[in-house]
Structure 1
Amino acid sequence: MSDNTEVGVIGLGKFGFSLASALTDLGHEVVGVDFNPENVRKAQDVLAQVYQADATDEKALKQIGFADLDKVIVSTGDSMEASILVVLNLQALGVEKIWVKAISEEHERVLYKLGVPFVVFPEAFVAFQLAHRLATPGIHEYFGLGNDVVTREIIVDAWVGKDLRELNLTNTYHVQVIAFRHAGEAEFHFVPQADRKMKEGDVLVLLGKTQDVMQIDKF
């Protein structure tokens, strides 16, 4: 999300509202949706646009204008069923880039099977990271490798049929591919082979300086 654009956030609870606020601070125009009037009131003074609506209703999302968005985050609380219905609605509207907060490993697997490109499991991620830092002194945080060092997930499209040796990303863009995930799978594989041919829908994880990582816009 390097370009400042309009982003939809469905679900304005603790995680959704915090993420929407952070996106706003980064210069994005955020369209927020929540069924809870209290969450809507809280977000009205922070976000560009906020609507009280049922996101499990495809017509409601279409009326709000979500068919015109290509980036949407789904954070619908503890309801796996609601999350899945919202995802299906967004896919029916033609939204291509969907990020979804998963509430369990089962939920995560279902989302990947539905073709959701980006699934976030914040509680598990934080717990895993903290456990390793406590158990292994000196281990780096994922985002603690230095100033302005980030990771970025990208979905393979134009690079289909090519391998990492051909792309030469380290010398061309000064970034390193540290992991990959097959399309439709939840598990990442680390230290990818340089001669492995990429397939459509594969996800690559890049590591590098923010400016270098974000300059890659055709993949």
Structure 2
Amino acid sequence: MVNYLHSLRQRRRKRVTETHAPGRDQRVAVIGLGRFGYSLANELMRRGWDVLGIDTDPRLVQKYSDHLTHAAVADCTDPEALRQLGVHEFTSAVVAIGTDIEASILVSSNLLEAEVPNIWAKAISRQHGQILERLGVTHVVLPEHDMGERVAHLVTGRMLDFIEFDDDYALVKTVAPDIATGIPLGQSQVRSKYGVTVVGIKRPGEDFTYATAETVVQKGDVIVVTGKTHAVETFAELS
């Protein structure tokens, strides 16, 4: 089993390296048409992508067939079903299966075996996500956990928005604290004192603009700040 997983990851890395540049193929297979899967498929279509929606439930496929580019009833835990639908020819696929962890893992494994270069998979727990990562899935999404964490930051602090990335790095939108106002950013020493960088600024009634060392933040301005998660959290709480 360990050798199989290693071989699968090696082949996947090779295929990703050989893949054409992004944007050449705007086809994507979305496997699982629950709330998450359909919402994702609908947004992808709005952005001009050609979406193949797949689910084992004929009622869901019938319900969304008029809203998707293509829709099919199939059990993608069977690799032959994927082959017949031509998913192996796609460069992108999303495993949006909800509570059936076994099906999620089997479908992801089949997509990896078919050497689909870009695979996103929904996980319902950190353990589920770790299993998918060990298989070789490089894009693992925990929507409920990520959204819960994001909302918690908004509820408990002064942040207007919060997005956390990998490697303990985050981007925050917040009302500018007093320590950052009244003087040019280059003189405020925000970066050296607090370990954050102000990258954008919005004044009431105006659009966001890039911040520079010469930018003078005024009281009431909304700013976008980046840096280590703890640093931007601390900065956003300053009065």
Tell me the TM-score range normalised by the shorter chain: 0.5 to 0.7
Between structure 1 and structure 2, the one with the greater Rg is 2
Following the alignment from structure 1 to structure 2, what is the Cα–Cα distance between the partners of residues 136 and 77? 31
CA drift of 1:72 comes to 0.3
CA 1:190–1:115: 2 relative to 1, 3 Å: farther
Measure how far apart 1:139 and its partner are. Answer: 5.2
Measure, in 2, the Cα distance between the counterparts of 1:82 and 1:71.
19
The equivalent residue for 1:91 is 112
Is 1:54 the equivalent of 2:72?
A: no
Q: Partner of 2:48 in structure 1? A: 27
4+ runs deviating over 6 angstroms: none
2:177 matched to 1:137?
no
Quote the Cα distance in structure 1 between the aligned partners of 2:71 and 2:55.
Answer: 8
Task: Tell me the distance in 2 between the aligned counterparts of 1:85 and 1:10.
Answer: 12
Output the TM-score relative to the length of structure 1. 0.64
Verify the 8 A CA contact 1:12 1:75 in the aligned structure 2: yes
Distance change in 2, residues 1:92/1:27 (3 Å): same
Distance 1:10 1:68 in 2: 15
Is contact 1:10-1:33 (8 Å) kept? yes
Q: Which has the higher helix share?
A: 2
1:39 is matched with: 60
Following superposition, the deviation at residue 190 of structure 1 comes to: 7.0
For residues 11-44 of structure 1, the C-alpha deviation after alignment (integer angstroms, 9 at most, x for no partner) is 0011101100110011000011100011101121
2:96 to 75, 93, 96: 75
Percent identity reads 38
User: Take 2:96 and 2:138, find their aligned partners in 1: how far apart are those partners?
Assistant: 15
Relative to the length of structure 2, the TM-score reads 0.59
| RMSD over aligned Cα atoms | 2.7
Summarize the alignment of residues 94-105 of structure 1 with structure 2, pairs less than 5 Å apart: 94-105=115-126
Size of the aligned set, in residue pairs, is 153
Equivalent residue in structure 2 for 1:18, among 39, 47, 51: 39
Residue by residue over 1:36-82, the C-alpha shift from the partner in whole angstroms, topping out at 9 and shown as x without a partner, is 01110112111111110001000000000001001000011201110
Deviation, structure 1 residue 140 = 3.0
Q: The residue matched to 2:121 in structure 1 has which SS?
A: strand
Amino acid at match of 1:114: L
Deviations 1:180-216 (A, max 9, x none): xxxxxxxxx979xxxxxxxxxxxxxxxxxxxxxxxxx
Counterparts in 2 of 1:132 and 1:144: CA distance versus 1, 3 Å: closer
Segments of 5+ residues of structure 1 without an aligned counterpart are: 147-173, 180-188, 192-219
